[in-house]
Amino acid sequence: MIKKSLAVIKKVLQKKPVLYVPLTPQHWDKQYKRGAWDSLIKTEYPNSVKIAQILISQVKPGEQILDYGCGNGGLVKDLNGHLKENYLGVDISQEAIKQARENHPGYQFLEVSELKKHPQKKIDHLVLCEVLYYVDYKKFLAEIQLRLKPNAQVIVSLYRAWRSTLIIQYLKKIMIFKETNKIKDPRTTWKVIIAKFK
């Protein structure tokens, strides 16, 4: 605990981000190329299973899902062929998108840079699975909200980490929580939150 506290103080003094860890697309590409995230498509993660269950039970024909930070398609694995026409996954990693397209034909995946050129369909369901640790989440949420329909459902998954508590406190200021699911697993504990912007 003291070691973490000292690391945070050091970042503050160096004027580096404390509440998120900004990583480059090249960083993520290297990780996906070496197989660091293969477990997402080979192993069952209960938070991803829960998100898939929510989407399958609630998404109506014609509604749009944006899975921001989709990686190599871990959520799509758990959708198990459902919602192909509703789903769009985006990620900053070219390698993750390449793998997602190879592993999950029939689903649509784009790099974040391609999303800007994509037709501006308003989103009904936004999925943020383990994403908010790696972006300036206050700025990101303000920007992504512009892509959402009024009353769009936002599904956020966060694993147990000190940053999660701070992120959740911020989310409660800008969102109305409909449901919070606490999911325990030998690896960690997740919170899967269903909310909408105020």
Check residue 18 and give its pLDDT.
56
Check residue 12 and give its pLDDT.
43
Contact 127, 98 (CB under 8 A): no
Which of these ranges, 38-47, 70-79, 147-156, has the smallest mean pLDDT?
Answer: 38-47
Boundaries of every domain in the chain: 24-197
Q: What is the pTM of this model?
A: 0.89
Which class is 24-197 in CATH?
alpha beta
Residues 133-166 pLDDT 10s:
999 999 999 999 999 999 999 999 999 888 899 8
Residues 76-99 pLDDT 10s:
999 999 999 999 999 999 999 999
Rounded CA separation 152/103 (Å): 28
